[in-house]
A and B are shown apart, each in its own frame.
Chain A
Amino acid sequence: MVKSAVLTGEYFMTGDVACAEGALAAGCRFFGGYPITPATEIAERMAQRLVDIDGTFIQMEDEIAAVASILGASWGGVKSMTATSGPGFSLMMENIGLGIITETPCVIVNVQRAGPSTGLPTQGAQGDMMQAKWGSHGDYEIIALAPSSPQEFFYQTIEAFNLSEKYRLPVLIMSDEIVGHMSEKVIIPAADEIKIVSRLGPKGRKDLFKLYAPGPGGISPMPAAGDGYNFHVTGLTHDEKGYPAMNVDTHAQMMSRLTGKIKNNLDDIIRTDSYKLDDAEFAIISYGVSSRTSMAAVDMARDLGIKAGFLRLITVWPFPDDQIRALAGDVKGMVTVEINLGQIHREILRCVEGRVPVHLVGHSGGTIIPPEDVVKMLKEAF
């Protein structure tokens, strides 16, 4: 029996379960994964739900295969996802690169825990943020979102699918153990209230089809295996037909298109949010679960007469360079809040270019940052 993919209603659910529900609402019908704390609940929920809605769930032999499976499913014409945590994310890096060069839409969720290596399996961190940007070899641009609540995990998963379908690339959701395992009210809207974007299919003569000929907005239409179009998909540098063409010019052309589809669409991709930032003298910048710390810190600081405001990065990659640069002209100082020893902090320093002091409130992982630490930094540093 086919049940509803969109469980419209009001729930008290964990971020992980909300993520799975978001994926199903976005049209995801394939999940290939390998269980790992604290992302296992996403796989569990997908395994339970996909059978009822004509979807497919496969537990793969490892995370390398997990990404291979979702790339394959995507080329089969099905929206696909996997979910993991740090150790699995490391294994996924190779095939994430394959997804980027072959321009394969899919969603990869990293419910971050403290690393390196096996680290603290049941405790949260935000230590994989730079790995998300640079973990696979070669130059590339990527999209990464960071949810701060189960409700947002639901919406961002839909958003991740929409972006991956629109721009044809793997989109990363950089969540963390705290958001993944915490329960909160989640409202799932009616199916017709959810905006869903799906990849553009090719038109025209099948025998003359060119797999990577730029289509509307520079994005190539994508056929599914079995549609009758002849095509070849490879991780080697390829030409418009998709055939290997290993020379400097083709590579430069291909790379310009791969990075250009992100760099030329920053306004469409980048999402930020703010809280009491309009009259702020000091800006707290954060993302994911540390947003919650930051909002609490803004209120505590304002109670003490410190004019603090908050800029939240909803998308962490591509990095909102322009927003940070503009903000540096409006405030006297900034504080980065993240559960690591300074990763996005470096990006902020890069954009601020020394115009105002920027301080880091971070630690090596395992727990959320208390808002008191941020207030203490605001008091002592400025």
Chain B
Amino acid sequence: MIKFVDQLKTFNQKKNKFMTDSQDTDQTKKIIVTGFGGQGIILAGKILGKAAALGDHRESTLVESYGPESRGGSCSAQVIISDKLIYYPYVKQPDILVCMSQSGYEKFISTILKKSVLLIDRDLVQPARKLNMEYFAIPATRKAEELGKKMMANIIMMGFAVSITGVVSQEAAHKAVLGSVPKGTEKLNTEAFYKGYDYGIALLKRRFAKKAAGQATGAIL
């Protein structure tokens, strides 16, 4: 009873996993990047998805959520990265939550699990005092201003997220940044990416040293 056209057949063979695999494995990572319109939140999500799909040769989906207004309104990018084809592209409980605005933080903080990783822009997000979990903070916007380009805060944040979580490889992420930014800005964006990446590495080293000394508990991905 099933009839295919040659082209769709070829397509299905190429993407055959769409019909045979199930999606839930431990390797699947769900990410929400949130902030306000104009910060490049969607681009940040796109960089992660692109890095996973094209650089790391895995499966990934990105869905965007924003209102009719764009600049200044609240927005979020939902990314899923997996080794299997992803059926349902929305994220209910992120493994990684990246917040670049207070309103984004407040909207999504209740969705995260104990084992989730929370990343914030230190100058834009004030976590609740009672927040009982480890989180990672970077002054991404301030660092972008130091570079002379406030709009590159998202790239710094992605560098930071990649080094802290390892959700995509550093090479793939850098390549995705280069493939996503306007021509002529590659050098500055590379600088921004590694500013965030190196900040994350340094932060991790400090945390591990502290943990080794028994001063802190918690786990990262």
Contact = CB atoms under 8 A, between A and B. Distances in A.
Interface of A: 10-12, 37, 121-122, 149, 151-152, 155, 158-159, 178, 181-185, 187, 193-195, 267, 270-275, 292-293, 295-296, 299, 314, 322-323, 326-327, 367-368, 370-371
Contacts of B24: 299
A151 B7 CA distance: 12
B79 to A, nearest CB: 9
Contact of B87 (A185, A271, A273, A296): A296
A151 B2 contact: no
A61 to B, nearest CB: 23
A292 B54 contact: no
Contacts of B5: 159, 271
B51 to A, nearest CB: 9
Interface string B2-40: 111111101110110011001110000000000000000
Judged by DSSP, the binding face of A is: mixed
Given A12-B54, A296-B87, A370-B88, A181 B64 contact: yes
B208 interface: no
Interface of B: 1-8, 10-12, 14-15, 18-19, 22-24, 46, 49-50, 53-54, 59-64, 66-68, 86-90, 176
A314 B9 CA distance: 12
A184 B23 contact: no
A2 to B, nearest CB: 21
A187 B53 CA distance: 11
A114 to B, nearest CB: 13
A271 B4 contact: yes
A273 B2 contact: yes
B66 A122 contact: yes
A272 B3 contact: yes
Q: Which of A149, A152, A184, A273 has the largest number of chain B CB atoms within 10 A?
A: A184
A194 B55 CA distance: 25
Given A178-B89, A273-B12, 9 more contacts: A151-B15, A159-B8, A178-B63, A182-B63, A185-B54, A292-B88, A370-B90, A371-B87, A371-B88
A155 B8 contact: yes
Contacts of A368: 88-90
A365 B49 CA distance: 26
Nearest to B58: A185
Contacts of A151: 11, 15
B11 A155 contact: yes
Given A12-B50, A187-B14, A296-B23, A323 B1 contact: yes
Contact of A292 (B12, B49, B87): B87
Give the most central of B60, B68, B89: most A CB within 10 Å: B89
A295 B10 CA distance: 20
Contacts of A10: 53-54
Given A155-B8, A155-B11, A296-B88, A185 B2 contact: no
A12 B53 contact: yes
A195 B11 contact: no
Given A178-B63, A296-B88, A267 B3 contact: yes
B4 A273 contact: yes
B62 A183 contact: yes
23 contacts: A12-B53, A12-B54, A12-B62, A122-B68, A152-B11, A155-B8, A158-B7, A159-B7, A183-B49, A195-B7, A267-B3, A271-B3, A271-B5, A272-B2, A272-B3, A274-B2, A293-B87, A296-B87, A299-B87, A314-B8, A367-B90, A368-B88, A371-B87
A299 B22 contact: yes
A295 B1 contact: no
A73 B19 CA distance: 39
A151 B4 CA distance: 16
Central interface residue in B5, B12, B54, by most chain A CB within 10 Å? B5
A275 B15 CA distance: 14
A163 to B, nearest CB: 9
A183 B8 contact: no
A274 B1 CA distance: 10
A151 B10 CA distance: 12
